[in-house]
Structure 1
């Protein structure tokens, strides 16, 4: 006689048998760094853990970056300006036509390794200087972190998460020399392998949030893409159209919701049935010294971070979308732009965000967007791997360093999930 034993489910880790118990969709990080701002802007408390920091029985790794916060931010701005001046604003005059060309802004496939190497050396030096400012100093704890960090970075590729709510660094632009090269980049003694964004998978994270899921669930296997677009961009840059090609790209591959003005965006963000799995901004953006940063769609109405906070005050974005910011002149996602838009979105439902660190040329924006989403629309493809792969591809195959200027926020393991 078969007996049935009484059973009661008290904890169900399978979500009603809809997933395998204990399954993890996130990779282990080899390097975790946390920067906590000290009182009165005196610097940062730095904490480190992960396989790069061995357990030796001596306790956790911790040090202090004793530089005023304003000085640290100023050094980060110098790094961004180096990219802006050396790459985006690089120009030459055609000897025959006398026409001024901006090779990195006019196109994306340069096919000139000599030009790439020439502009990249000052970028490597600026990236190295910023690394030294962030991890240098006389504090013994920070010196230990720096030594172990350099050893891990030199050994090979790492999976890196940097957590801070206030320190915003273009981590992919930092430079630490590979094995066998001098610490300070010199002529013929540097390589792209030293750029963090070329060699490693990196994300910037923030104070922990509960119930984070790296999977974007597609119940009916159809991706919904919200395109928040400004067609005026193509009128301003008719030789390198960006908006129309991206609309065509997504229309062929997903269900598209097109929003052309501020009112349509406001209605969408306040709709309990907000549909986006991917929220894409292709528009004008502005970060100015004496005005709050803003975005503009086709109606040219300014969209401030305060608008987004108001629209999402009652409820977050229900689908927790992946947000891509492809705003021309909308660089500086960290600092002023991040504070206005990135933080507002990530704290109110956005699952992750990608944005540029310097001005985004439309030609490159278009090609980068198409390649990133061609890969991401394949279920299971993880965002962090795609970002690193694109950085390498543009350097290796197209002599273009601009793939390194995109930063990924809280989302290296984010992917589409159809099961």
Structure 2
């Protein structure tokens, strides 16, 4: 007999993947309420439980003010670090050292006193954004919140979730200097960055994706979405080889390629990699939005993702997305930096990893090669890999640029493979 199912009451149990994850060690929430008020909350095993109450404070900072300070911090990373230009005693640029921090990934041969001076300035800005702008205030609740948060962040190796309506460059924020007043070293300054101390993800959506569990693949499906003209003098070709090794790799170079595949209900990828230009374009009267451009230059943005994927809510599309594209251009309160990432997550992506600044191509390719190679092994989570790479590039290459990569969700995402135990 032919059977037609008209009701499926078990969906509510089968489609609850959110119940299958481990809670973070520290969860810090910043909710934007009516009138521009910001309410901060904090919970997790790394902070003490309070009898009959919770860690909560209504802050005096305003969202526009916080976004403006975050934009300034990102701009200073570009101005002070990426565009750093040594000069001679007469103020003339040294021809043999043209923008050394942007043209090479490995800075271990650069003078440490110059690096320390610049990185210390960036760390001061990261500390000020967190504690002097976002969490400023003299009322008792805000002061206690700051004390407990400082204490929690002083620990090492936490899994930290910033569940926030404010999209900030969390790994680039910093704890305070050593209060003993000892002479700062480059290592000690690197250690102040939250991206050096902890695994970090930014979230903000509730029930972003609900769908059936996806079985682990024997051979992962990945994609390389790129502008073929970008990064020719970098290790971009090695990244492409790493993506194709032992995988089913789809290469897309045009907007039409993206539209064709993102509109396909059967799109199934475990890692989606973008290597291309990114910029902010006008979306008046709404905030400017981030767009990506492949070889043909046609803009691809979060609205395009929504148009193509809204009718495929329960598809198998559950990738980690690595957006290795510069977040250059307009920043601040007039810019929605997270819209593309939010749309990717809303329509299936488990997480989105990308730079908060205009990232030099030399470093971006090195970072991608390390991340892709480690992630495709299927042995570590995205959060652990991002944390280890931030420390790796700080220790080996003497570069803070690993702290400028941030995860939007996906801290506990891992490439599950049916043959992982045999590798």
Scaled by the length of structure 2, what TM-score is found? 0.84
Counterpart mapping for 1:250-289 below 5 A: 250-287=243-280
- The C-alpha deviation readout for 1:50-90, integer Å capped at 9, x for no partner, is 12331231311110112221111111111111211121111
Give the aligned partner of residue 44 of structure 2: 50
Equivalent-residue separation in structure 2 for 1:297 and 1:369 (angstroms)? 17
Seen in structure 2, the aligned counterparts of structure 1 residues 396 and 35 have a Cα distance that, compared at 3 Å, is: same
Q: CA deviation at 1:139?
A: 3.4
Does 1:148 find its partner at 2:148?
A: yes
Select which of 221, 227, 232 maps to 1:230.
Answer: 227
Q: Show structure 2 runs of 5+ residues with no match.
A: 1-8, 419-423
Task: Report if aligned partners of 2:209, 2:345 keep a CA contact under 8 Å in 1.
Answer: no
Give the aligned partner of residue 403 of structure 1: 402
Equivalent-residue separation in structure 1 for 2:34 and 2:354 (angstroms)? 29
Give the aligned partner of residue 116 of structure 2: 117
Equivalent-residue separation in structure 2 for 1:350 and 1:274 (angstroms)? 12
Counterpart mapping for 1:181-330 below 5 A: 181=180, 191-209=189-207, 217-219=215-217, 221-234=218-231, 238-240=232-234, 242=236, 244-287=237-280, 292-316=289-313, 318-329=316-327
Give the aligned partner of residue 359 of structure 1: 358
Counterpart mapping for 1:49-88 below 5 A: 49-88=43-82
Seen in structure 2, the aligned counterparts of structure 1 residues 210 and 127 have a Cα distance that, compared at 3 Å, is: closer
Q: CA deviation at 1:46?
A: 0.8
- The C-alpha deviation readout for 1:300-324, integer Å capped at 9, x for no partner, is 1122322222112212463211011
Structure 2 counterpart SS, 1:417: coil
Equivalent-residue separation in structure 2 for 1:334 and 1:208 (angstroms)? 24
Equivalent-residue separation in structure 2 for 1:331 and 1:346 (angstroms)? 23
Seen in structure 2, the aligned counterparts of structure 1 residues 332 and 353 have a Cα distance that, compared at 3 Å, is: farther
Equivalent-residue separation in structure 2 for 1:351 and 1:331 (angstroms)? 27
Task: Report if aligned partners of 1:216, 1:277 keep a CA contact under 8 Å in 2.
Answer: no
Task: Report if aligned partners of 2:223, 2:243 keep a CA contact under 8 Å in 1.
Answer: no
Task: Report if aligned partners of 1:216, 1:417 keep a CA contact under 8 Å in 2.
Answer: no
Counterpart mapping for 1:168-179 below 5 A: 168-177=167-176
Deviates more, 1:119-128 or 1:141-150: 141-150
Equivalent-residue separation in structure 1 for 2:319 and 2:222 (angstroms)? 9
Task: Report if aligned partners of 1:295, 1:303 keep a CA contact under 8 Å in 2.
Answer: yes
Q: Show structure 1 runs of 5+ residues with no match.
A: 1-9, 16-21
Give the aligned partner of residue 6 of structure 2: none
Equivalent-residue separation in structure 1 for 2:69 and 2:148 (angstroms)? 23
Seen in structure 2, the aligned counterparts of structure 1 residues 39 and 324 have a Cα distance that, compared at 3 Å, is: same
Q: CA deviation at 1:354?
A: 0.3
Seen in structure 2, the aligned counterparts of structure 1 residues 222 and 177 have a Cα distance that, compared at 3 Å, is: same
Give the aligned partner of residue 99 of structure 2: 102
Q: CA deviation at 1:187?
A: 5.4
Structure 2 counterpart SS, 1:293: strand
Task: Report if aligned partners of 1:225, 1:278 keep a CA contact under 8 Å in 2.
Answer: yes
Seen in structure 2, the aligned counterparts of structure 1 residues 30 and 96 have a Cα distance that, compared at 3 Å, is: closer
Equivalent-residue separation in structure 1 for 2:253 and 2:360 (angstroms)? 21
Give the aligned partner of residue 388 of structure 1: 387
Structure 1 counterpart SS, 2:392: helix
Q: CA deviation at 1:333?
A: 9.5
Select which of 35, 38, 49 maps to 2:33.
Answer: 38
Seen in structure 2, the aligned counterparts of structure 1 residues 197 and 25 have a Cα distance that, compared at 3 Å, is: farther
Q: CA deviation at 1:103?
A: 1.4
Structure 2 counterpart SS, 1:233: coil
